[in-house]
Amino acid sequence: MIGAENEQIGVVETSEAMRMAQEAGLDLVEIVPDTRPPVCKIMDYGKYKFELSQKQRKSRAASKATEMKQIRLGRSVKIDPHDVQIRIDQGRRFLMAGHKVHFVQRFRGREMAHREIGLAHLKECVDKLADICKVEQSPRWFGKEASIILAPDKVRIEAIKRKLEKEKAERAKAEGKSEAQVAAEEEARIKAEEAKIAAADDGDEPETDEEPAQQQC
């Protein structure tokens, strides 16, 4: 058996090993099951699983080529400001993961007469993500769409990741939770937001020639 501080304890009975783990407030985990006797270690199993998943995620990210992620700012320039922010948050997650992000603003009917509204949405994306990205492609037009491409700034992103990991650990400690629990809660929140975006993008709004209300940009 291996102790919580990686010290070699030696061969002990299962009941004694479980007692030692309970006294330490930790778990007894079988890490090498195929040997006789099997090798076990006293550890925080939740933290172990979290760290293992993080390593696997980083490994997949490192072996995977950078992808271009497209985010549509709704089907019209009349998108709600809150929905724009949700898409910016999604873009931040993609950039933090090392992907380029292609923001697309669509125009409907006579909305083309108010291009400044859609361009203001794209500018908002750039401004709010400027801390982690660089503009790879300025606004370009293709039919009734305007788009930009943002590329991740790797140096800044690594610095922010270190800060976020520290904050996550502090939050877990303050709330009396494991880092794995905090990460699971954050992942559930992200999935809920992305499901909302997917539902909005799948909506089939009718084409309209109605002019949009003027917005302050």
The DSSP string of the chain is -B-TTS-B-----HHHHHHHHHHTTSEEEEEETTSSSPEEEEE-HHHHHHHHHHHHHHHHHHHSPP-EEEEE--SSTT--HHHHHHHHHHHHHHHHTT-EEEEEEE--GGGGGGHHHHHHHHHHHHHHHTTTEEEEEEEEEETTEEEEEEEE-HHHHHHHHHHHHHHHHHHHHHHT--HHHHHHHHHHHHHHHHHHHHHHHH--PPP--PPPPP---
pLDDT of 88 reads: 94
Domain count, the chain: 3
pTM of the entire predicted model: 0.56
**What is the rounded distance in angstroms from the CA atom of residue 61 to the CA atom of residue 44?**
26
pLDDT of 63 reads: 56
Does residue 183 lie in a domain region? yes
Last residue of a domain, one of 108, 136, 153: 153
Same-domain pairing of 135 and 72: yes
Please compute, for residue 108, the number of CA atoms within 13 A of its CA located in the half-sphere on the CB side: 15
Q: How many other CB atoms sit within 10 Å of the CB of residue 178?
A: 17
Same-domain pairing of 176 and 122: no
Does residue 75 lie in a domain region? yes
Does residue 134 lie in a domain region? yes
Does residue 124 lie in a domain region? yes
What are the backbone dihedrals phi and psi of residue 158, each rounded to the nearest 5 degrees, phi first? Answer: -65, -40
Same-domain pairing of 11 and 79: no
Same-domain pairing of 143 and 162: no
Does residue 206 lie in a domain region? no
Same-domain pairing of 131 and 164: no
Same-domain pairing of 45 and 87: no
Give me the domain span that covers residue 27: 1-49
Identify residue 26 by its one-letter amino acid code. L
**What is the rounded distance in angstroms from the CA atom of residue 115 to the CA atom of residue 120?**
9
Same-domain pairing of 72 and 3: no
Same-domain pairing of 167 and 127: no
- Which segments of the chain have a pLDDT < 50? 204-217
pLDDT of 192 reads: 78
Does residue 132 lie in a domain region? yes
Does residue 208 lie in a domain region? no
pLDDT of 61 reads: 63
Could you tell me the sign of the dihedral formed by the alpha carbons of 79, 85, 86, 88, in that order?
A: positive
Same-domain pairing of 148 and 182: no
Does residue 31 lie in a domain region? yes
116-175, pLDDT tens digit by residue?
Answer: 999 999 999 999 999 999 999 999 998 899 999 999 999 999 999 888 888 888 888 888
